[in-house]
Structure 1
Amino acid sequence: MSDAQALVDAHHHVWDLNVRPQPWLDEPGHEPIRRSFSSHALRSAATRTIAGRRLTSTVVFQCIASVPETRDLLALADSDPLIGAVVGWADLTSPAIGDVLDDLRTGPEGRYLRAVRHVVQGESDPRWLQRPDVERGLRVVGERGLGYDVLVRSHQLPQAIALAERLPELPLVLDHAGKPPIARRELTDWDRHLRTLARHPQVRCKVSGLVTEADHERWTVDDIRPVWDVLLSAFGPDRLMFGSDWPVCVLAGGWNRWAATVEELLGDCSESETQAVLSGTATDFYRLSDEKEGTLPCS
């Protein structure tokens, strides 16, 4: 399939609660997704096209701090042609992180590991990403040719900025656009920090997870558009990538409604700009067309 026809969902999850509990699902408000979700369920949910494109490839993400979960995701990617890459977890604070990453990449399924992530949004330390042990771990991640997905809330964006400044050689992608507080309509600080982060050329940004930062029941495209305008202005289409955050997006409308919203947001973009957001940026960052080991782009 040509790039002009491809649609990459650069951010989704799967979990089987019979195999591995997801304690975060016990939080109030998560009742609609407090069940198991498979990649086959994603295929059934993602029926809408975006700019004439149907879903062709995905990147599956870790949910919990678990190396066994990452192994399961790698095995799933090896067996499911829809999944082109895995973003897994490893303990960044561990002196043995290099050995853990090397072990994860051993075997045929290990080639799907393209980045790692830690749920920094759950850390109370306002400088967690600047801890010496964490920074050491992140350097090892970069040395292994992997990227790092940054999951922070809007008030934690200064950590991401400092990370980009201190490790310019580490390819980064900001998950969920840094979780702008859309429901509260308080975007000033997020806007300022987001633009500062975007000045670092090794950083990409994911157009994902926005509807769950809005009012789950009442959000409209007009609520999302101010965020989209900032993202497009700050990063440009060549550093933006579409993601659904499925099945979390079920809490605020689901995959197809988010797809329709993204299509509307892309209405003024050229074909090449649309291609970058819907396929090109994610394909380059996560090396979706490359089954061999390699190095991620830094600029």
Structure 2
Amino acid sequence: MSREESEAGVIDAHHHVWDLSVRDQNWISGPELAPLRRDFLLADLEPEARTAGVTATVLVQTITVPEETPEFLQLAASSDLVAGVVGWADLTAPDVADHLAGLRAGPGGEYLVGIRHQVQPEPDPRWLVRPDVLRGLTAVAEAGLVYDLVVKPHQLQAAAEAAARLPELTFVLDHLGKPPIASGALAPWAEETRRLAALPNTRCKLSGLVTEADWGSWTTQDLKPYADTVLDAFGPDRLMFGSDWPVCKLAADYAEVIAAARELTARLTLAERHQVFTGTAARTYGLTVTGSPGPPQEAPCA
């Protein structure tokens, strides 16, 4: 990391925390996920993030229960690291607009920047364009919030349809839409991702790559075709870095994840890298971040 990039600060636009004594994470099951079956607290993340030059983060929901989001908002209010929260709300509920208003009015409500639902396990690949879901997404837009998409490749078509129907809502694609990196296949993921990216109200997180690759033997070269696809499709001003900590620990530690992201964006200019690591997240989520003075300037040519 250059001195100029360090001074600009880094926003980690995607991480989680959980305390199993407060609430079980029922998605953590099976021997392959056993390393995640313990508490991961903000105090565990902070030293790793600070060492990596991260000055602000976005804390993202993990399970679909209403109690988690108010807890995250209060955690953000007590933290000098968490600048925003992407929480959960039942988009299909008739009173979803009132629920969102209640979150905004509650303790730490000013930190609510977005909503996410775990679409990936939904059996209906067109869940996002159901009338009741579109009504809920409209409420998210009217609340001035962003919607994070956690989908698999076969759900990207519906995601693009939803984004086209709701141009007033910003959609952020988490984890590149979970491409099949371990297999090396690009189709049909790349085509569907480009279709989504063609819509101006969409963004993408450069996150979750290492856990879609072979956990034990991935290299940055394995990730490069997928990173290049979203860099070209969305452009640096609509792409943002996210660590996906602590899920990333299945395949890499925090330092390895951010090092891979820097290598994958090495071909960009300094100003473009600033967008990926700071500017896009700040702009998309409306974050107020201290220690991030703006895009660093390129050194003049001699």
TM-score with structure 1 setting the length: 0.93
Q: Shift of the alpha carbon at 1:228? A: 1.0
Is 1:77 the counterpart of 2:89? The answer is no
1:108-146 per-position Cα deviation (integer Å, ceiling 9, x unaligned) = 410100100000001011110011111100001100111
| SS at structure 1 position matched to 2:243 | coil
Q: Is the 8 A contact 1:47 1:256 kept in 2?
A: no
**Structure 1 segments of 4 or more deviating over 2 A?**
1-4, 44-49
Q: Is the 8 A contact 1:3 1:280 kept in 2?
A: no
Match of 1:287 in 2: 286
What percentage of aligned pairs have identical amino acids?
51
1:189-227 per-position Cα deviation (integer Å, ceiling 9, x unaligned) = 111011111100010000000110000001000000111
Structure 1 unmatched ranges of 5 or more: 292-299
| Rounded Cα–Cα distance in structure 1 between residues aligned with 2:185 and 2:51 | 31
Trace 1:58-207 onto structure 2 (pairs within 5 A): 58-207=57-206
Amino acid in the other structure paired with 2:33: H
Report how many residues are paired. Answer: 287
Trace 1:52-63 onto structure 2 (pairs within 5 A): 54-63=53-62
| Rounded Cα–Cα distance in structure 1 between residues aligned with 2:289 and 2:191 | 35
Structure 2 unmatched ranges of 5 or more: 291-302
Structure 1 pair 75–42 and aligned structure 2 pair: CA distance change class (3 A): same
Match of 1:262 in 2: 261
| Rounded Cα–Cα distance in structure 1 between residues aligned with 2:93 and 2:30 | 28
Amino acid in the other structure paired with 1:230: T
Q: Shift of the alpha carbon at 1:2? A: 9.5
Is 1:24 the counterpart of 2:8? The answer is no
Match of 2:15 in 1: 12
Structural RMSD (CA): 1.7
Match of 1:296 in 2: none
Q: Shift of the alpha carbon at 1:155? A: 1.6
| SS at structure 1 position matched to 2:57 | strand
| Rounded Cα–Cα distance in structure 2 between residues aligned with 1:270 and 1:60 | 28
| Rounded Cα–Cα distance in structure 1 between residues aligned with 2:66 and 2:248 | 25
Match of 1:227 in 2: 226
Amino acid in the other structure paired with 1:42: L
| SS at structure 2 position matched to 1:188 | coil
